[in-house]
Amino acid sequence: MYCPSCGSEERQLSQFCRACGTDLRIVRNTLERPDEVTASAISAREQISRAFADRIRELKSGKDLEHFAEDVLPQLEKFFEAPEERRLRRIRAGVITATISLGYTIIALVMASAHPKLTPFVTPGLIGFLLGLGFVVNGLLFTVPGKRLPGS
């Protein structure tokens, strides 16, 4: 275990940090008994694991297992992703959407300059571009980053 105050490693079960004197009993008790949120998450993961194991046992062939994996695993990965991964995924989706829409808008503008009847086709590109920017702003400002431990 490491002291939360000074970061020195405590290899023995002592009550106080040998380097700075911090009371380590509180830290040790917290590590031994997780809080309600952590306990709830552990319980939920165990239930999900059992449900998936039961579902896999019901499958008849390798093809069924392949389809199950293709359908369910991406959703499961999103469920268990860390907040920082979710944040980066949203930013990435916004950048991709905005870039593709901007390209479409430029092509539509070039075509509309030659044929004015095509001007309404610029609007979907602008809407897509604004949506992409909205996804980026959502990822940057409104997606909650993961909690960081002191000193990290």
User: What is the DSSP secondary structure assignment for residue 61, as one 8-state letter?
Assistant: S
Could you tell me the two tokens for 139? 């990822």
User: What is the DSSP secondary structure assignment for residue 20, as one 8-state letter?
Assistant: T
User: What is the DSSP secondary structure assignment for residue 34, as one 8-state letter?
Assistant: -
pTM of the prediction?
0.50
Q: Give the type of residue at 62.
A: G
pLDDT of res. 38: 66
Query: Is the Cα torsion angle 86, 92, 96, 97 positive or negative in sign?
Result: positive
Between CA 3 and CA 116 the distance in angstroms is 70
Highest-confidence segment of 16-20, 79-83, 86-90: 86-90
